[in-house]
């Protein structure tokens, strides 16, 4: 009950952001004593909310705590499904991806969201680990239940990466690009990555977990030494501290929008957008794949989402997945598990 009052007081103050709300008004609205109001505001301030208090004026809301708190994420979230059900928050978690997979297996609905302020065993692509910092990056994983057959898996992954890149472009105006298949880049440095795990049987995709790891407010020295030359953050690129909740909300909005538009006709738009955003096209690349190393020039993407590489003999080889070898930008912020 107490926590419900606290939530309602927070909403009332937030609705009047920058304006004074008297203690009397809050007492009357919620039918509680002045002492109780003041106790809840104190607790909110301890959580990191910036709420000014002044005798005879009352309370004035300035800002949230820049933590990924579920009530912050839900506040004015303009999605229909993503982030509208369970939002599981942890200060420290092994991996949001692992947890979201557990929830998906347990039958949690589409849109279930897991967030953490830091991870002890963040997972990257191809068995790598992901470094996330504490309260500075964004670690989120969302459960999706796409009504698609497994053939769509590659296009689905591509779509989710494009959606995250577009969300970041809109939120920040910074020159964010994709490096196939799932890296988010600014220039030659890695800003983040998208991890897509799809569980399917022969006929249908059962669930998908999309995880986003993003460097937001880290300064250069906050990165481990071995990542400093290859990683970047929104803060490093803009000299500004970003509101992580707003960025997370934008990602949810774009994921939902693009993912729901996924059908035969729309695939063409996704591929076109990928061509506009990816930094690999036209570059010489060397990829470690299950069939060995493939070297050549990245030419295009096939309609089913494979990277088309033209080798030295002029042969065009479609590649489903692999690890880029060589100098940055092909090094990632992820490091092999020890």
Determine how many CB atoms are found less than 10 A away from the CB of residue 253. 21
Q: Contact between 124 and ligand BTN (CB under 6 A)?
A: yes
Using the contact rule CB under 6 A, the part of the chain among 41-49, 50-58, 118-126, 314-322 near ligand BTN is: 118-126
Binding-site member from 23, 49, 73, 96 for ligand BTN (CB under 6 A): 96
Q: Would you say 95 or 172 has its CB closer to ligand BTN?
A: 95
Closer residue to ligand BTN, CB minimum distance, 172 or 334: 334
Is residue 329 a contact residue for ligand BTN (CB under 6 A)?
Answer: no
Task: Out of 10, 26, 82, 139, point to the residue binding ligand BTN (CB under 6 A).
Answer: 139
83, 146, 213, 296: which one binds ligand BTN (CB under 6 A): 213
Closest-by-Cβ residue to ligand BTN is 193
Query: Shortest gap between Cβ of 225 and ligand BTN (angstroms)?
Result: 19
Which of the ranges 11-19, 76-84, 116-124, 221-229 carries the binding residues for ligand BTN, by CB under 6 A? 116-124
Q: Which stretch binds ligand BTN (CB under 6 A): 71-79, 93-101, 227-235, 300-308?
A: 93-101
Residue of the chain from 83, 111, 122, 322 that contacts ligand BTN (CB under 6 A): 122
Q: Can you tell me which of 6, 123, 250, 306 binds ligand BTN, judged by CB under 6 A? A: 123
What's the min distance (Å) between Cβ of 70 and ligand BTN?
16
Q: Cβ 162 to ligand BTN, closest distance in Å? A: 15
Residue 103 near ligand BTN by CB under 6 A? no
- Which two tokens mark 14? 């937030």
Buried b / exposed e over 84-106, threshold 16 CB at 10 Å, is beebbbbeebebbbbbbbebbee
């Amino acid at each position: 009950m107490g926590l419900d009052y606290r939530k309602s007081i927070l909403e009332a103050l937030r609705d009047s952001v920058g304006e004074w709300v008297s203690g009397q008004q809050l007492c009357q609205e919620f039918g509680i004593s002045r002492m109780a109001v003041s106790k809840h505001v104190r607790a909110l301030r301890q959580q990191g909310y910036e709420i000014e208090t002044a005798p005879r004026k009352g309370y004035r809301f300035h800002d949230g705590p820049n933590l990924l708190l579920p009530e912050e994420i839900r506040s004015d979230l303009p999605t229909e499904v993503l982030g509208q059900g369970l939002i599981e928050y942890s200060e420290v978690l092994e991996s949001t991806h692992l947890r979201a997979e557990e929830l998906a297996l347990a039958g949690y609905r589409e849109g279930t969201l897991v967030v953490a302020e830091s991870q002890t065993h963040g997972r990257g692509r191809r068995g790598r680990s992901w470094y996330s910092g504490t309260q500075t990056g964004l670690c989120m994983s969302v459960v999706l239940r796409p009504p698609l057959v497994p053939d769509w898996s590659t296009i689905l992954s591509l779509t989710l990466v494009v959606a995250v890149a577009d969300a970041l472009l809109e939120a920040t105006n910074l020159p964010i690009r994709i490096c196939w298949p799932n890296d988010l880049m600014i220039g030659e440095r890695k800003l983040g990555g998208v991890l897509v795990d799809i569980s399917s049987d022969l006929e249908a995709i059962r669930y998908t977990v999309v995880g986003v790891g993003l460097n937001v407010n880290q300064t250069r020295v906050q990165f481990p030494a071995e990542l400093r030359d290859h990683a970047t953050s929104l803060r490093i690129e803009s000299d500004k501290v970003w509101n992580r909740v707003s960025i997370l909300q934008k990602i949810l909005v774009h994921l939902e929008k693009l993912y729901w538009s996924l059908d035969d006709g729309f695939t063409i738009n996704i591929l076109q957008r990928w061509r506009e955003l990816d930094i690999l096209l036209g570059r010489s690349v060397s990829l470690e794949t299950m069939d060995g190393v493939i070297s050549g020039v990245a030419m295009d993407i096939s309609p089913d989402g494979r990277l088309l590489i033209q080798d030295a003999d002029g042969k065009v080889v479609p590649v489903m997945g692999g690890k880029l070898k060589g100098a940055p930008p092909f090094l990632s912020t992820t490091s092999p598990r020890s």
